[in-house]
A and B are shown apart, each in its own frame.
Chain A
């Protein structure tokens, strides 16, 4: 089917969960290798958490504020001039980061324009994040798949857990997540922004800091279809026939970007970050962006700029 633009990379009948899991399991090691590779490139660039907190490394001097413990005053520095300074240390406390990647059939999509399938990219990103975070000592968890662990080989363990995980679609139960953790959600979020937010908003209200990475295939965004085309939804099997696909391209793109903008706006209001990533770009781009957010960088424009 060289003629079609997009295809399902791993066609997995819903009944055969096991074989799908195996397939995923075969995919995971590749992703692991890839994740390590890109994680190395990222780690080479940034260290620490880049924010003040309980730690040992010097972070910054800041003016003493009324009410602070006197013991925190760094007198050596304060003696240099007339102000009183407090020495902040870089935050080095262990932190729980929940990683979750959408494994629904719609993620198993790869068009001819893309480098990898969305699922593959999502896994790579997730494992790479796990690798980076594990190296910086964070606790890595995956809702419904793996309890948070703090280990150097957390990424490998996450990969192993994913291999054996049952097939799930949608956001799993998040009741076990306690407050003040970070959660990274990786998926395509093709539902309505409202429906996505319906599920995400409770998490935000519970105090979780969230980072949403939207993986999109370039074909989904540029809509390069022409002529009479029958579109099939890989999740529901629903079909739509467009008589002349090129005629609706602009309308579609408008709706597509409107959804993304709405999602991004809602997340921003929730205080969550939103990273958009296209599978024809390098995975490290998204990784850098997410890592930046996790490290407490102020939110720049989303790293996956709309092309």
Chain B
């Protein structure tokens, strides 16, 4: 298949000119500027390598030769794998085109092949008969090529299996004895049931030549079956080409087309079928609407799922409603708890079964669970039985009422003995029974033996010959625990023990959940939906709702599809009248899939015709014209040559004022850029992040501030005030370190206009009237700091200076000015029971260098009523403290640890109390209402004591 011909071979004579071109190219080098230059000998000593100026470099010549050769070859139009016209002109061309589901992926090529054949027929001047095997009707009378082309244009792949026999029959009738010249079958490669008839019918036409055109058949992979097991959904697929091992993904999509889960189809080499497990939670599997083979858009690769896979609706009925106060004793409690995760549970809103049952049946549940219902109202039996016969599942649990019910109940699977059997107990010799292994049939097959379940009471079945095979679970002594009976399409299941924990501990076990889950899964999702509309027995007729296209897409276009009659317990199969899709209504529909379960795709075998058959492949893919590639190569060489020449001529040198080459230079730069991009696709930009590039300057300082608590003061700008502040806070830090577990770091002076304030629990602000007034922005930062839970300790340091005048001191005025724009709470002098007075030391006043000034704190709003002292924010900590005692002055120590300033009056105890005030303030800052709670300890103890 590697034949290479030229559409215009005459052009190839142009290659003869290549030597001439060679010679010409050698003679016309990239023309340098010629310059007469007398001091050539001096130049020669400088110019080391002597170029041969009269000739181009050999590689440039070679490049141009290649360019010329590429152009000549491109004009000659070489074609790989050409197609030959070999139609037999002895009679009409009979074209049988398979347009079944497997042709959807390569339909264009098939149309192209057919069109080429029609072209051949036109040139051979024979009529053409074209038929499509997956169409319902055939017009096979040979006509003109144009008519055939129109038919071809109108045809499209259909999501059906082609029926070649009908086509053959139609052709035979249409040909009416005319002997076709060439009979070409554009086959999808798959065998159909009627192939032998078709091929013998074709042979009977006795065409002069039979031709079979086949694709590679790689797309002929179809999903045939999907079975919902307990743990996973098993998908079966079949394929046509069995040559090599193949792995495919099967996606499960929901109704909106979103992929929910996927499994892997692993075709072994030589094997035509494979299964995939789509393991996903049951709840998720409820949402599966269709299965798709990944990457294959055919109707065969799509498998529609219907309500059979949907979430079940289950109605619960109990004999007694029980008491709401003791839910664990309610019969339905365990059942509903077990079912709720994966089923819709309906509970009637009335206890009257005569009303409840018709109401439930109207909702058409998948299953009805009757827990210890002995006798139903008489008029409800008939509708219930009808519902079961149409596919409903009735699950019953025993109980005292059922045990007392008469034996002729039609809604139990086995004949029950009157009364129940008690195992164990004071009056019994027998022991409570555990469960035997689950039998290998039935829905519980494969579950591990439930060793932890003991049954103390049960109802007993009368032994019947078929009792064993209807028993899905039994006790260790062989008495049945779960029995079932199939009634037409439906089923009755009976648990021989109660649904609550009085008769056995089964409802308490995890096995109970699993058993119920498997039973529910067994129930038809739609309940008796298929016959919900009419009571006409087992068959229902459903109108098309959504149809599958050949591409495997659901459409609302139903076209010529007819309503399908679906028998119960029978998987519907697609046909001409009933193309695959969903039939029914939005509320309930049945999926009709293309291929019946267990279908195996086989290779189309045309030997039944008994005539020699010419096989060939589809057109389009094989015949490859090399012209575009050659032209592209020539163009690339041209660009390369241009760049080389421009380089040689020094177009990239910096030549000021050489305007005539400016355009050329621009072109070259563009070409060069193009070339670079072509040569270096996606050269990675080396972007190395400097280590720690995210760090900003100052981060280290912030980290250091956050590591340890620091006391902070506001830098006023007056050196003496600031140094006293620093020394004071240093002294307090030392005191805190000695006396408490708090070990603050070095004091920090803050510029409140720009430093970050939020690292510090308290900020000491010595007010100085002579310092510059802080800006409104700085004050607003302080306001924000206080609102976010910080505390500012204002110290006016004017206790004694305010005495003389009696009025406000300058420092006090400054404080008023600062606080004027701050939203401060009402203040009060520290009450005697305030937490500040006892947060570490017991204090009555808070002296500093001076004594006598009260320490103002936020007034406690609710203090009087409740005793709790919660302020609006900040964990009950006052946002500001105001004193006039000059704390820092009392705290200040020098580097030797000696006090810097004397106290007024000079009393070392006062200094000690000043330190203690500082400790209490710090403790109050850091512990907040934790310490406040301690205030209540006496009250709490008092309450506990009584």
Given A232-B40, A233-B38, answer yes or no on A248-B655 (Cβ-Cβ < 8 Å). Answer: no
Whether A256 pairs with B655 at a CB distance below 8 angstroms is: no
Determine if B33 is an interface residue (Cβ-Cβ < 8 Å).
yes
Given A227-B653, A229-B33, answer yes or no on A255-B45 (Cβ-Cβ < 8 Å). Answer: yes
Whether B34 pairs with A240 at a CB distance below 8 angstroms is: no
B41 CB contacts on chain A under 8 angstroms: 190-192, 233
**Measured CA separation A229–B32 after assembly (Å):** 5
**Measured CA separation A238–B37 after assembly (Å):** 10
**Measured CA separation A190–B601 after assembly (Å):** 94
**B23-60 with Cβ < 8 A to chain A:** 30, 32-47, 50-54
Chain A: number of interface residues, binned into ranges = 35 or more
**Measured CA separation A4–B36 after assembly (Å):** 8
A227 CB contacts on chain B under 8 angstroms: 32-33, 649-651, 653, 655
Q: Which of A4, A188, A190 lies in contact with B35, CB distance below 8 A? A: A4
Given A226-B650, A244-B653, answer yes or no on A232-B34 (Cβ-Cβ < 8 Å). Answer: yes
**Measured CA separation A5–B35 after assembly (Å):** 7
**Measured CA separation A161–B43 after assembly (Å):** 35
Whether A240 pairs with B47 at a CB distance below 8 angstroms is: yes
B651 CB contacts on chain A under 8 angstroms: 227
Closest A residue, CB atoms, query B46: A251
Closest B residue, CB atoms, query A109: B38
Determine if A265 is an interface residue (Cβ-Cβ < 8 Å).
no
Per-residue contact bits, chain B 622-662, to A (CB 8 Å; 1 contact, 0 not): 00000000000000000000000000111101110000000
A106 CB contacts on chain B under 8 angstroms: 38
Determine if A144 is an interface residue (Cβ-Cβ < 8 Å).
no
A245 CB contacts on chain B under 8 angstroms: 650
Closest A residue, CB atoms, query B33: A229
**Measured CA separation A246–B649 after assembly (Å):** 12
**Measured CA separation A123–B24 after assembly (Å):** 45
Determine if A299 is an interface residue (Cβ-Cβ < 8 Å).
no
**Measured CA separation A231–B51 after assembly (Å):** 11
B44 CB contacts on chain A under 8 angstroms: 238, 240
Given A190-B39, A226-B653, answer yes or no on A3-B46 (Cβ-Cβ < 8 Å). Answer: no
Shortest CB-to-CB span from B48 to chain A, Å, is: 9
Shortest CB-to-CB span from A38 to chain B, Å, is: 24
Determine if A274 is an interface residue (Cβ-Cβ < 8 Å).
no
Determine if A239 is an interface residue (Cβ-Cβ < 8 Å).
yes
Shortest CB-to-CB span from A279 to chain B, Å, is: 12
Whether A248 pairs with B35 at a CB distance below 8 angstroms is: no
Q: Which of B30, B53, B648, B654 lies in contact with A239, CB distance below 8 A? A: B53
Determine if A6 is an interface residue (Cβ-Cβ < 8 Å).
yes
Shortest CB-to-CB span from A268 to chain B, Å, is: 21
Shortest CB-to-CB span from B647 to chain A, Å, is: 9
Shortest CB-to-CB span from A189 to chain B, Å, is: 10
Whether A4 pairs with B33 at a CB distance below 8 angstroms is: yes
Main secondary structure of the interface of B (DSSP, over half): loop
**Measured CA separation A161–B529 after assembly (Å):** 133
Shortest CB-to-CB span from A259 to chain B, Å, is: 6
B653 CB contacts on chain A under 8 angstroms: 226-227, 244, 246
**Measured CA separation A248–B649 after assembly (Å):** 15
**A82-113 with Cβ < 8 A to chain B:** 106-107, 109
**A183-229 with Cβ < 8 A to chain B:** 188, 190-192, 217, 219-220, 225-229
Closest B residue, CB atoms, query A237: B40
Whether B51 pairs with A243 at a CB distance below 8 angstroms is: yes
Whether A256 pairs with B42 at a CB distance below 8 angstroms is: yes
Shortest CB-to-CB span from B44 to chain A, Å, is: 6
Whether A233 pairs with B37 at a CB distance below 8 angstroms is: yes
Closest A residue, CB atoms, query B652: A244
B50 CB contacts on chain A under 8 angstroms: 240-241
Whether B35 pairs with A229 at a CB distance below 8 angstroms is: yes
Determine if A30 is an interface residue (Cβ-Cβ < 8 Å).
no
Whether B40 pairs with A241 at a CB distance below 8 angstroms is: no
Whether B650 pairs with A252 at a CB distance below 8 angstroms is: no
**Measured CA separation A259–B41 after assembly (Å):** 11
Shortest CB-to-CB span from A151 to chain B, Å, is: 35
Determine if A12 is an interface residue (Cβ-Cβ < 8 Å).
no
B38 CB contacts on chain A under 8 angstroms: 106-107, 109, 118, 188, 190, 217, 220, 233-235
Shortest CB-to-CB span from A278 to chain B, Å, is: 13
Shortest CB-to-CB span from A226 to chain B, Å, is: 5
Determine if A68 is an interface residue (Cβ-Cβ < 8 Å).
no
Determine if A230 is an interface residue (Cβ-Cβ < 8 Å).
yes
Determine if A150 is an interface residue (Cβ-Cβ < 8 Å).
no
Shortest CB-to-CB span from B660 to chain A, Å, is: 10
A236 CB contacts on chain B under 8 angstroms: 40
Determine if A181 is an interface residue (Cβ-Cβ < 8 Å).
no
A107 CB contacts on chain B under 8 angstroms: 38
Q: What are the 4 A-B residue pairs with the smallest beta carbon separation, nearest first?
A: A227-B650, A241-B53, A233-B40, A106-B38
* Interchain Cβ contacts under 8 Å between A and B, 20 examples: A8-B36, A188-B39, A190-B38, A191-B41, A220-B37, A225-B33, A226-B650, A228-B648, A230-B32, A230-B53, A231-B35, A231-B36, A232-B37, A232-B40, A234-B36, A236-B40, A238-B44, A239-B53, A242-B47, A255-B42
Chain A interface residues toward B at CB < 8 A: 3-8, 106-107, 109, 118, 188, 190-192, 217, 219-220, 225-236, 238-246, 248, 251-252, 255-256, 259
